[in-house]
């Protein structure tokens, strides 16, 4: 079984309506691989907060109902992926963010992938384009 860091940009695709999202089939394929024990996921603790925030934003703009969001959060919290404290990753994440002009949030995933000697899979094409040449970052669209 392979270990990967999956970022929130991938995971929100598991919960939000497909008509407004791209790369949903690729994101769902990763989750299926996890469910079939072909992949193991590792995430920073920020992962759950970022997904909940994206779902809240979808409610706020009327993209999904509150009931839909409540159910999505139940499904999210049932997934207890191994989690690493952001505090343990913060120094490395900050250095990557400062050196490459990315957000510290995004760089937490990169720092975790480096620490775990694996790769981060992201649906954020700009992040992948900015960092993939120097760090273990793969764009979901290329998986």
Count of all residues that appear for the chain in the document = 143
For residue 80, the model assigns a pLDDT of 87
| CATH classification of the domain holding 62 | 3.40.50.1010
Range of the domain at 27: 2-142
- The answer to whether the beta carbons of residues 21 and 140 sit under 8 Å apart is no
CA gap 9, 131 in Å, rounded: 16
pTM, entire model: 0.93
List of the chain residues with pLDDT < 70: none
Domains contained in the chain, number = 1
Give pLDDT tens digits for 85-106: 999 999 999 999 999 999 999 9
CA–CA dist 88, 18 (Å, integer) = 34
The reported pLDDT for the residue numbered 19 is 76
CA–CA dist 36, 86 (Å, integer): 28
């Amino acid at each position: 079984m392979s270990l990967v860091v999956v970022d929130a940009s991938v995971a929100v695709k598991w919960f939000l309506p497909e008509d407004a999202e791209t790369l949903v089939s690729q994101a769902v394929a990763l989750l299926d691989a996890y469910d079939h024990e072909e992949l193991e996921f590792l995430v920073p603790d920020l992962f759950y907060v970022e997904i909940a925030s994206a779902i809240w934003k979808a409610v706020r703009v009327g993209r999904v109902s509150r009931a839909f969001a409540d159910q999505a959060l139940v499904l999210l919290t049932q997934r207890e992926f191994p989690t690493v404290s952001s505090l343990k990753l913060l120094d490395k994440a900050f250095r990557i963010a400062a050196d490459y002009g990315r957000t510290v949030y995004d760089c937490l995933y990169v720092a975790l992938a480096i620490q775990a000697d694996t790769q981060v899979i992201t649906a954020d094409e700009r992040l992948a384009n900015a960092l993939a040449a120097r760090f273990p970052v793969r764009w979901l669209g290329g998986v």
